[in-house]
Amino acid sequence: MVDRAYQAMLEIEPDINFHNKHITLYGGEPLLKENKEIVEYIVKQGADRGYNFSAITNGYALKEYEDLLDPTLIRDIQITLDGDKEAHELRRYDYRTHESFDIIFENIGLALNKGVYVRIRMNIDANNTEEINKLKAKFKEAGYMNNKLFNFHFALLHSKENLMINSSNPEKANSYSEKDSTFMSRKRFNELFDESGEVTIQDYGIYDKLQRAIQNKGYLNFQSVFCAVQTNEYIFDPYGEIYGCWETVGKKKYTLGSYKDTLSWTPEADNWRRRHVGVTPKCSGCKYALLCGGGCLARALEANGGEYISSYCDGYPDTFRIIANQVYKKVVVQKQQ
């Protein structure tokens, strides 16, 4: 299946010069101890073809992959920690020992020492916000926060009901369902970012766009779609199916095609490619449209009953305001000082 996947990539685009030479491994958990042989095969075959790799992993078995953690092989990993030891292990623990935090924390240092970029993601809901400063202090004590290869960022968890609230009305993202006290509003989430200092949030690329435009005295980069899943990104599952977004993998109605025996596409592939801000009613009159690209299509589909011309605003105006202020403080004010 690995050999067939690499062959299918060339069938999709025969000219390898047009390939994005980066592959992300994810699951489930891609870097299980028992996966080592096949993962090593995937990475070595990819490296021979000029690809490099990242992995979205729980970080528990990284020592088994030490020889593959390398800027030329697996050069980038994302690990989720949902708080300090006690809080994290209430949510993510080894099924045998019921512990995981200490091993993962040590493995972060291992990866950094190998020259691998490490992104720590903390999933935020209404019950673990106090863990932010605990984790930050622990990372500082270990020296991770000063490492240029280390990044600590937040991600907001959503319930299905709050997905629907936030889907196509940017103002409603400042509220949330009172029926479910587990989740918080986008506005409160953004306030946490403002308060946290050195921690970043999922900002839709706003910071980088504004920073580049100001520093280069150039134009903002506009986009008519939200992300690469609508243009040039494909996900190959181990059963021969092709998807556009990792949030839809396993949902058969969103299968884009198959690579198992021969390369073939479903009507869903055209649906994903044709959705852009010009055909999305809520976006076509929005001043942020060419910055946000209509929002996450997978979440828009989930929140709006599979409607491809729906948008997913998710509090974009509030996020834009906060990030713009951050850029101004760090790029303009600091330069003046």
Same domain for 234 and 103:
no
| pLDDT beneath 50: ranges in the chain | 162-168, 170-180
**CA of 133: how far to CAs of 82, 119, 136, in Å?**
12, 17, 5
Please give the pLDDT value at position 18: 92
Same domain for 7 and 125:
yes
The amino acid sitting at 212 is: R
pLDDT tens readout for residues 285-301: 999 999 999 999 998 98
Same domain for 22 and 137:
yes
- In 3-state terms, what secondary structure has residue 127? coil
Same domain for 297 and 153:
no
**239 in any annotated domain:** yes
CA-to-CA distance for 154 and 83, rounded, in angstroms?
Answer: 11
**222 in any annotated domain:** no
**165 in any annotated domain:** no
**215 in any annotated domain:** no
Please give the pLDDT value at position 69: 98
Q: Tell me, what CATH number does 140's domain have?
A: 3.20.20.70
Please give the pLDDT value at position 120: 96
Q: What is the mean pLDDT of the chain?
A: 87
**174 in any annotated domain:** no
CA-to-CA distance for 229 and 310, rounded, in angstroms?
Answer: 16
**294 in any annotated domain:** yes
CA 168 to chain centre: 21
**188 in any annotated domain:** no
Domain count, the chain: 2
**217 in any annotated domain:** no
- The tokens for 81 are 């920690």
What residue numbers bound the domain in which 302 lies?
228-317
